[in-house]
Amino acid sequence: MQGKIVKGIAGFYYVHVVESGIYECKAKGVFRKDKIKPLVGDNVEILVLNEQEKEGNITDILPRKNTLIRPAVANIDQALVVFALQQPTPHLNLLDRFIAMMEYHEIPPVLLFNKEDLDEELHREYIRSVYHATGYPMVFTSVKLDDRLSQVREVIQGKITAIAGPSGVGKSSIINLLQSNVSMEIGELSDKIKRGKHTTRHSELITINEDTYIMDTPGFSSLYTLDIEAEQLRFYFAEFREYEGMCRFNGCNHIHEPGCSVKSAVESGVIHRSRYDNYVLMFDELKGKKPY
């Protein structure tokens, strides 16, 4: 039988099998010889030992789409980067760091701006203009207004979505609302998982429907220090990429070089200045970090 690991705790893995429920499994498969550890998000083959008690063994790990080391998770399809439009006002420099980090890990970002009900100054239009050229999907929500989460449901459908963002922006509120129509089958069976609830927090997949999961990854949000060379940074700004090779100098970093096509795009308003300024800030920081 095949399933997906939704949680791992103290040598036990909780494997969600569509239409059967969650099995408590140990890792007994041949992959142990290769020192491969199962990860939350892994698709696995299990052997059921006791159907009544929902116990089994993981016998195989299917090929991974991607892997993150910290937090240790596999097969993330996208990241939902959550900020608020107000309370707290969005810190776009922090957002651009999150985005660059996702790009570095090759995890496509979806930008979610919450608390739209508080957005009397229509900050939303400014945000739209800043991120328009990136091409990232943008969703504006409010957990206080009816029906606002339908767009979120659409973008997460059929995927594993990791959630990131500073605290206080509404991540837990959004997850709770998304979970509110989780089917009975899944609701009941997740009691099995709850037993281990009050131990240290681990990464966990929250089942939204049978093929849709939210990855609640403690520590994911704080991982925004980029360990890269400054000269690599431009590749993690999506809207800069189409200008690669179009500047006067080969390998132009789009900083002080003359004849820079990215700087021209900023001047003409195609690339937003907020994004460019944050790029320059991050570039200078990375430059200042000398390797020993």
CB 195 → ligand GDP: shortest distance, Å? 24
> Hey, is 65 helix, strand or coil?
coil
| Amino acid at site 280 | V
Neighbouring C-alpha atoms within 13 Å toward the C-beta of 193 = 23
Site map 124..153 versus ligand GDP, x via CB under 6 A: ------------------xxx---------
Kindly tell me which of 1 and 118 has the beta carbon lying closer to ligand GDP.
118
| CA dihedral (227, 66, 92, 86) positive or negative | negative
* Structure token pair of residue 219: 């520590």
Q: By CB under 6 A, tell whether 32 contacts ligand GDP.
A: no
By CB under 6 A, the residues from 152 to 171 that bind ligand GDP are: 167-171
Tokens of 85: 């439009």
What's the 3-state SS for 220-270? CCCCCCCCCCHHHHHHHCHHHHHHCCCCCCCCCCCCCCCCCHHHHHHHCCC
If one asks whether residue 94 binds ligand GDP (CB under 6 A), the answer comes out as: no
Q: Which is nearer to ligand GDP, 38 or 90 (CB)?
A: 90
Nearest to 289 by CA among 249, 230, 205, 247: 230
Question: And the tokens for 162?
Answer: 């990791």
Q: Does 123 bind ligand GDP (CB under 6 A)?
A: no
144: partner contacted, choices ligand GDP, Zn ion, none (Cβ within 5-8 A by kind): ligand GDP
Side-chain half-sphere of 142: how many Cα atoms within 13 Å? Answer: 13
Q: How far is the CB of 6 from ligand GDP (least distance, A)?
A: 20
CB of 142 to ligand GDP, least distance (A): 4
Partner in contact with 168, chosen from Zn ion, ligand GDP, none, beta carbon below 5 to 8 Å by kind: ligand GDP
Residues 220-279 within binding reach of Zn ion (CB under 5 A): 247, 252, 254, 260, 262
In the list Zn ion, ligand GDP, none, the entry touching 88 (Cβ below 5 to 8 angstroms by class) is: none
In the numeric block, the tokens 């990854």 are attached to 217
Residue 177 CB, nearest distance to ligand GDP (Å)?
9
Contact 155, 110 (CB under 8 A): yes
List contacts with ligand GDP (CB under 6 A): 114-115, 117-118, 142-144, 167-173
List contacts with Zn ion (CB under 5 A): 247, 252, 254, 260, 262
